[in-house]
Amino acid sequence: MAVILPVEGLSPVFGKDCFLAPNATVVGDVHMGDGCSIWFNAVLRGDVNAIRMGDRVNVQDGAVLHCTYQKTQVHIGNNVSIGHNAIVHGCRIEDNVLVGMGAIVMDNAVVGSGSIIAAGAVVLENTMVEAGSIYAGVPAKRVKSVSPELLRGEIERIAGNYLMYSRWFAAFNEAPTPTSPEAS
């Protein structure tokens, strides 16, 4: 069963139809929208500040979401995929974004809607990723625009696939029932 823990009196809040892998960890001030999935060995630590996620966000295997104490929060829009072993720390990720495997997005960065952060990229603190852009490298730089084909073929496809994958585990899913912020 997933590790779900309160911290300092704040408990995670889950939307409808969320999947949490049996060894996922979600602690503290974390609010998830509907249709989210947190995969094997993923960690969402809302212990030092808040993590807010929209609908249809998938946090893939080994990814870590965390913040900086009393300084930064994590805000993730709708239809976002956080790739395997990515680190998302104290930043804002807008709608329809793909954060590639092993990528790192640091404090106060903003990733604009419809963007892709390439696998292994490091988005430095305070970076503003323009909407509809692909950023790659260390440090990450803009390499080109996201085409409509890439938006459909990668960003939308991967987010949709993770909704399908989470249904495969529905019989084993022990995700908490939806709760509202008022209930926590």
d(CA 52, CA 88): 12
Domains belonging to the chain, first-starting first, are: 3-169 (2.160.10.10)
Amino acid 158: pLDDT: 95
Would you say residue 171 has pLDDT above 80? no
User: Mean pLDDT over residues 165-182, rounded?
Assistant: 69
Amino acid 152: pLDDT: 87
HEC string of 92-150 equals EECCCCEECCCCEECCCCEECCCCEECCCCEECCCCEECCCEEEECCCCEEEEECCHHH
Amino acid 170: pLDDT: 77
pLDDT digits (tens, 9 = 90+) for 14-59: 999 999 999 999 999 999 999 999 999 999 999 999 999 999 999 9
Q: pLDDT category, 174, cuts 50, 70, 90?
A: low
pLDDT digits (tens, 9 = 90+) for 136-164: 999 999 999 999 988 888 999 999 999 99
Amino acid 96: pLDDT: 97
Would you say residue 184 has pLDDT above 90? no
Would you say residue 118 has pLDDT above 80? yes
Amino acid 169: pLDDT: 87
In contact, 124 and 106? CB cutoff 8 Å: yes
What percentage of the chain carries pLDDT values higher than 90? 88
